[in-house]
């Protein structure tokens, strides 16, 4: 890594960074495929490793008229238009100028340097040479997934898993000596939103996995609780909720049962679906207070915005678009119920930066069970980190946040993203010392907390 990059010439910033970079990586919220880690096959080529799973890269290319077909993005039925990986790499190289000043450029060039010993900036002239250099490395056993996991110094990596998942790959991973742990995360979105096309199939999968026949709302809650218990036994410490709205709603038992019958029927209304989502989010919060799993909430994305892209290529292809999101009224029912419960822990993320200082920082600065997630998704950038710290610190402080969250499917970007976040925080703390808002001793105490301790403690890692 280039130690002085993004730190400026500030001596204290460099000292803080050297302190922070010694800590192992905690990744309590991510989307790396556990099958890939369990199977431990060689990565086939640079495109499959670095381009195909990275929607930051592919969406930018698509925005400039480069089709997903020409990038050989897999279709939703697992077929694809085959294009030679070298040709795809050349397309990326030819258009690398598109990524100027974006986090994608920073992450990718840091991966080139730190992982593959490549100092050059990618362009048409060196495209083939860089492709070959990376390919040669990937053929070595030291570049297989499990070896890279050890090399990345990951202490804990959380995956994302549906309630009905078998967790078979986690069974295998638990038996391996990887130098760190890979744990599941309970993500019940597919059974919490009746508008999803897979909702009924997901209810059936939950029913099969839990052994609970789901005929009533009470049955649904019992099945979820049983699966949460199993996930906990498998090492899970958190749940994950990707919702459109953070609306929560408390209903009586009879009202919940009537609502469940309505959403199962062919005559259900849009209002029924929206109400059910709010009720489910409330119930997930109550279960979090009961079993101590940390509730991660990230609302405000209109997912699969482009219908044709979704129909052809499936979800997570770069067409999840942020919307205006409010939190204060929406979370009131849940926070009134369990916000100060001794076992309740919730991390809230947002894509709507206007909510940082207006709503989220004041809420996290008051409720013992609530913490602020760091800049997420489109906000995960150097400028985004600065806007976030400036917006929330004066109200919520540092200790009502949870450290850095990489939230990535791109395995090789994990150490790079954490490193850049640590560099930024080193710079930010040094700047606060220069502005006489922190002492040097306070900055030195904060550095390991931001790099490691806050995540370790709040996520029970």
Q: Give CA angle at 260 (256, 263), nearest 5°.
A: 135
CB atoms within 10 A of CB 6: 16
* Lowest-pLDDT range of 35-44, 279-288, 310-319: 310-319
* 262, pLDDT greater than 80: yes
* 156, pLDDT greater than 50: yes
Residues 302 and 320 sit within 8 Å (Cβ to Cβ): yes
Query: What six digits make up the tokens of 201?
Result: 């199939």
Query: What six digits make up the tokens of 177?
Result: 């000596």
Is residue 350 classed exposed, middle or buried when 0-12, 13-18 and 19+ CB atoms within 10 A define those classes? buried
Q: Which domains does the chain have, with CATH numbers?
A: 11-41+152-458 (3.20.20.140), 42-143 (1.10.2020.10)
Mean pLDDT, to the nearest integer, of 366-370?
97
Strands 181-183 and 321-322: unpaired
CB atoms within 10 A of CB 448: 16
High-pLDDT (> 70) share of the chain, %: 98
Mean pLDDT, to the nearest integer, of 201-225?
98
β-strand partners of 370: 346
High-pLDDT (> 90) share of the chain, %: 95
pLDDT for residue 301? 92
Q: Answer whether 0.85 is exceeded by the pTM.
A: yes
Mean pLDDT, to the nearest integer, of 136-165?
97
The radius of gyration of the chain's CA atoms, rounded to the nearest angstrom, is 22
DSSP state of 379: G
- Tens digits of residue pLDDT in 386-420: 999 999 999 999 999 999 999 998 899 999 999 99
Mean pLDDT, to the nearest integer, of 154-169?
97
Residues 236 and 183 sit within 8 Å (Cβ to Cβ): yes
| Distances in whole angstroms, Cα of residue 212 to Cα of each of 203, 240, 284 | 11, 22, 18
Q: Which three-class secondary structure state does DSSP give residue 89?
A: helix
Query: What six digits make up the tokens of 29?
Result: 């919220």
Q: To the nearest whole number, what is the mean pLDDT of the chain? A: 95
Mean pLDDT, to the nearest integer, of 58-72?
97
Residues 227 and 186 sit within 8 Å (Cβ to Cβ): yes
pLDDT for residue 2? 42
CB atoms within 10 A of CB 231: 25
pLDDT for residue 448? 98
- Tens digits of residue pLDDT in 100-135: 999 999 999 999 999 999 999 999 999 999 999 999
pLDDT for residue 338? 98
DSSP state of 382: H
Residues 179 and 152 sit within 8 Å (Cβ to Cβ): no
User: For residue 7, what pLDDT band results from cuts at 50, 70 and 90?
Assistant: low
pLDDT for residue 10? 84
Mean pLDDT, to the nearest integer, of 438-460?
97
* 450, pLDDT greater than 80: yes
Mean pLDDT, to the nearest integer, of 320-324?
94
* Residue 109, phi-psi category: left (phi > 0), alpha (psi -120 to 50), beta (remainder): alpha
């Amino acid at each position: 890594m280039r130690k002085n990059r993004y730190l400026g010439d500030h001596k204290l910033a460099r000292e803080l960074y050297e302190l922070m970079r010694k800590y192992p990586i905690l990744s309590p919220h991510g989307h790396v495929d556990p099958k890939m880690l369990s199977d431990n096959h060689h990565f086939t080529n640079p495109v499959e490793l670095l381009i195909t799973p990275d929607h930051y890269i592919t969406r930018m290319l698509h925005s400039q008229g480069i089709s997903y077909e020409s990038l050989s993005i897999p279709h939703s039925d697992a077929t694809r238009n085959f294009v030679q990986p070298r040709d795809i790499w050349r397309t990326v190289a030819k258009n690398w100028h598109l990524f100027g000043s974006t986090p994608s450029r920073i992450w990718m060039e840091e991966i080139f340097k730190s992982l593959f010993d490549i100092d050059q900036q990618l362009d048409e002239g060196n495209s083939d040479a860089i492709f070959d250099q990376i390919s040669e490395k990937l053929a070595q056993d030291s570049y297989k997934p499990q070896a890279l996991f050890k090399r990345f110094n990951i202490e804990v990596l959380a995956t994302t898993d549906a309630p009905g998942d078998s967790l078979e790959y986690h069974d295998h991973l638990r038996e391996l000596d990887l130098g760190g742990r890979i744990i599941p995360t309970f993500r019940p979105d597919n059974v919490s939103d009746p508008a999803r096309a897979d909702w009924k199939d997901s209810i059936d999968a939950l029913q099969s996995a839990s052994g609970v026949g789901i005929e009533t709302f009470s049955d649904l809650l019992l099945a979820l609780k049983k699966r949460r218990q199993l996930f906990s036994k498998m090492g899970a410490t958190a749940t994950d909720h990707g919702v459109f709205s953070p609306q929560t709603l408390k209903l009586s038992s009879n009202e919940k049962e009537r609502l469940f019958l309505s959403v199962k029927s062919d005559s259900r209304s849009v209002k029924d679906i929206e109400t059910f989502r709010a009720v489910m989010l409330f119930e997930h919060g109550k279960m979090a207070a009961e079993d101590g799993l940390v509730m991660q909430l990230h609302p405000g994305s209109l997912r699969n915005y482009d219908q044709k892209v979704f129909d052809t290529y499936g979800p997570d292809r770069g067409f999840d678009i942020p919307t205006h999101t409010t939190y204060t009224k929406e979370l009131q029912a849940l926070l009134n119920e369990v916000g100060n419960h001794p076992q309740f822990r919730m991390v809230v993320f947002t894509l709507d930066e206007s909510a940082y200082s207006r709503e989220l920082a004041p809420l996290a600065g008051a409720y013992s069970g609530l913490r602020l997630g760091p800049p997420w998704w489109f906000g995960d950038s150097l400028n985004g980190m600065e806007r976030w710290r400036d917006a929330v610190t004066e109200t919520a402080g540092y200790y009502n946040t949870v450290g850095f969250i990489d939230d990535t499917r791109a395995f090789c970007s994990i150490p790079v993203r954490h490193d850049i976040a640590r560099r930024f925080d080193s710079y930010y703390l040094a700047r606060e010392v220069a502005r006489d808002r922190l002492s040097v001793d306070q900055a030195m105490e904060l550095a390991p907390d931001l790099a490691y301790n806050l995540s370790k403690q709040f996520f029970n890692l």
